[in-house]
Amino acid sequence: MNCEGGRETAQLIEQQGGNALFIETNVSDSKQVKGLVSATVETYGKLDILFNNAGIGNPDVKSVDLEEEDWDRIIDINLKGVFLGIKYAVPEMKKTGGGAIINTSSLLGIKGQKYLAAYNASKAGVILLTKNAALEYGRDHIRVNAIAPGVIDTQIIDGWKNDERKWPIISRANALGRIGTPEEVANAVLFSYKKV
């Protein structure tokens, strides 16, 4: 969990004249996610937008060599966390006439890649969970979308950067011939939240 980054982001928002609330939350813990949503509603009076973005990577191992504990941890953070966010945000959004939810999947949730079984499965699950929620809550004026970025320069890929054999291939495998930036993902997220 990158609490320092969360605090820094909240501070930057406030320095720009905005209002921010940082609450350390384990997204795989139902009570903590419920508490996060409650604190947000208590602070701001409502919940308009939810961005389910927490995620962790996968050890590069064959499926049968993946430890069960690693599988559980990845599924809990990457998929269950999205489920819990939706579970507690939707009722609050319905109270105020709607909202927008965006979930972070991955290109690997669509195409997969060997040695990343749990990550691939979790991100594929996010895509179908997103579709399900969109079908269920669209009539409540809650838009539910997912983004599926390729390789983005975040902590999740730090191990790849040190692999002299893999990194040149990975970094050029995207359509742009380079890895993406968090700012590019943020722009896609902001576009998804804009009212139509």
pLDDT in tens, 141-190: 999 999 999 888 887 777 777 777 777 777 677 777 788 888 999 999 98
pTM: 0.90
Question: What does the alpha-carbon distance between residue 28 and residue 76 come to, in Å, rounded to a whole number?
Answer: 5
Extract the tokens encoding 69.
Answer: 């504990």
pLDDT in tens, 111-123: 988 899 999 999 9
Q: Angle at which helices 30-44 and 81-95 pack, to 10 degrees?
A: 30
Show me where the domains of the chain are located: 3-152+181-193
User: Does domain 3-152+181-193 fall into CATH 3.40.50.720?
Assistant: yes
Active-site positions? 119
